[in-house]
Amino acid sequence: MRIDKMLANLGYGSRKEVKQLLKSGAVRVDDIVVKDGKQQVVPQSQTVTLNGEVIEYQEFIYLMMNKPPGVVSATEDSQDETVIDLLAVEDQVYEPFPVGRLDKDTEGLLLITNDGQLAHRLLSPKRHVPKTYFAVIDREVTEADVVAFARGVTLNDGYQTKPGKLKILKSGIRSDIELTITEGKFHQVKRMFQAVGKRVIYLQRISMGPLTLDETLELGEYRQLTEEEIELLKNYQVK
């Protein structure tokens, strides 16, 4: 990363102000004065100082977003706004990416990080990390559906799902449910309901492994994970 970009992103001034800082000789990389803003630095392994003070640059970033509808869970998209576009520039510099995908119209818990190892572990099909969704269904959800989901249902491409835990919160001409699944097939929740002749009209993810959506986050808002949440994620073992 360019040194001027790193300093500007960390809030040490505009690009122009940072240029002045560099010109004044206040910035050192591994104890060598750097005046050229174009100089590349590797913040993870090099020590950058400003007037002798070490500039802290964390390696990993862990964010929890309450994903709003209408944005895609990707780092780039030619048509739609992405969840990364919603991040402040100071967070974008870490080059984070969403851990797994939520559909464009799905809301709720989305983990965004640049920790590839952690993401891989959470997404690995072998690990069966549970994900719980709240959904509104277009008709009555019954005990027969609970039983069918507990056995696993056949999706429209012939795939037999693993058991899902369906909880009926409110049953009627429209039903509120919670569904916990341990896989992440494309449109899985919507297709599981399709398999029993029903349609999901609202979908929100409320948890993923040990992480639960912070209800104080408005749609589109996000926050850093706490140290405790990061530890829980790193040490998470599926029971």
Residues of this chain that bind ligand URA (CB under 6 A): 102-103, 106, 187-190, 203
9 versus 175: smaller Cβ distance to ligand URA:
175
Task: Tell me the closest approach of the beta carbon of residue 227 to ligand URA, in angstroms.
Answer: 28
85 is catalytic: no
The length of the chain in residues reads: 239
190 versus 198: smaller Cβ distance to ligand URA:
190
Q: What is the DSSP letter of 226?
A: P
Task: Tell me the closest approach of the beta carbon of residue 63 to ligand URA, in angstroms.
Answer: 18
E-strand spans in the chain?
27-29, 32-33, 48-50, 53-54, 62-67, 97-98, 107-113, 131-137, 165-170, 175-181, 200-208, 211-212, 222-224
Task: Tell me the closest approach of the beta carbon of residue 8 to ligand URA, in angstroms.
Answer: 35
183 versus 214: smaller Cβ distance to ligand URA:
183
E-strand spans in 17-106?
27-29, 32-33, 48-50, 53-54, 62-67, 97-98
Which residue among 30, 77, 80, 103 is the active-site one? Answer: 103
Q: Which residues contact 52 (CB under 8 A, 6 or more apart)?
A: none
Phi, psi for residue 50 in degrees, rounded to 5 = -125, 120
106 versus 113: smaller Cβ distance to ligand URA:
106
Q: 3-class SS at 54?
A: strand
Which residues are identified as catalytic? 103
